[in-house]
Amino acid sequence: MTTALRFRDLTLGYDRHPAVHHLDGEVEQGVLLAVCGPNGAGKSTLLKAIAGVLKPIGGKIERGGFSARDIAYLPQAAEIDRSFPISVFDMVSMGYWRTAGLFGGIGRDKRQKVFDAIASVGLTGFEDRTIATLSGGQMQRMLFARLLLQDSPVILLDEPFTAIDAKTMQDLLNVVERWHNEKRTVIAVLHDFEMVRGHFPQTLLLAREKVAWCGTSDALSPENLLKARRICEAFDREALECERVA
């Protein structure tokens, strides 16, 4: 299969403090890959690096024939400013920013595709609502509609199903399945292991380093999960001792 992403001795972090160490591996085009691990394992950091938001400290990310601009990235809900005075329609239409510019106009055909994307996630009738009035589930539906318009070969989702109702979760999983059928590559940070086992055939178990990267049932074995937790707990203890010495 074609390789969508390749990590070569990738080290990531903030202020020269590593959060992900010496990661090697390949993401094949068209896979559904879950990224799992304890809190503080570097999962969101990895997605930010793939999206080009964060530069590596060491090593590199090779993208298979596309640039970071071609990647659709949905950050955690807490990182999105819901107070910005913008309508659902305008927020979704920003999925066209690569071709129309951030605040560029769009023609009749693209406007219809915005309406279609909104309808496909179950938000018909919400077009003129401001995003501040949306519930958590409605907000995620809207953001998935924007991702649909980006038409990207690689889609990154950081905890996309947190604090939403079961119906919304299933509807958005249907969108993920649609992307998979279109041979797009989807990488999602997830905490619900049962969801991962049911919908994501491959899993990267991360604990600041690669614990396992293989089929989901093997990656999320009790032994691997225990190892991941112990690695992160050991790192947290070491960091606390360093703070005390300082």
pLDDT at residue 238 in the model? 56
Query: What's the total number of domains in the chain?
Result: 1
pLDDT, residue 224, reads 97
The residue-averaged pLDDT of 210-227 equals 97
Give the chain's radius of gyration (CA, Å).
19
User: Given pLDDT bands bounded at 50, 70 and 90, which one contains residue 244?
Assistant: very low
Question: Rounded mean pLDDT of 45-62?
Answer: 95
Rounded to whole angstroms, how far apart are CA atoms 188 and 48?
A: 12
Q: Are 12 and 46 in contact (CB under 8 A)?
A: yes
Question: Strand 185-189 relative to strand 202-206: parallel, antiparallel, unpaired?
Answer: unpaired
CATH of the domain at 15: 3.40.50.300
pLDDT of 104: 55
Nearest one of 158, 171, 166, 175 to 194, comparing CA atoms: 166
| Residue 246 pLDDT > 60 | no
Q: How far from 222 is each of 20, 40, 106, 113, 229, CA to CA, in Å?
A: 22, 19, 51, 45, 11
Q: Residue 197 has which token pair?
A: 């086992």
Pairwise CA distance, residues 88 & 123, whole Å: 9
Percentage of residues in the chain with pLDDT exceeding 90?
76
Question: Which structural domain, as residue segments, surrounds residue 11?
Answer: 3-245
Mean pLDDT for the chain overall: 90
What are the φ and ψ backbone dihedral angles of 245, each rounded to 5 degrees?
Answer: -65, -40
Predicted local confidence at residue 38, as pLDDT: 94
Residue closest to 156 by CA, chosen among 209, 204, 104: 204
Residue pLDDT, tens place only, 125-161: 999 999 999 999 999 999 999 999 999 999 999 999 9
pLDDT of residue 101: 54
CA distance 229 to 199: 23
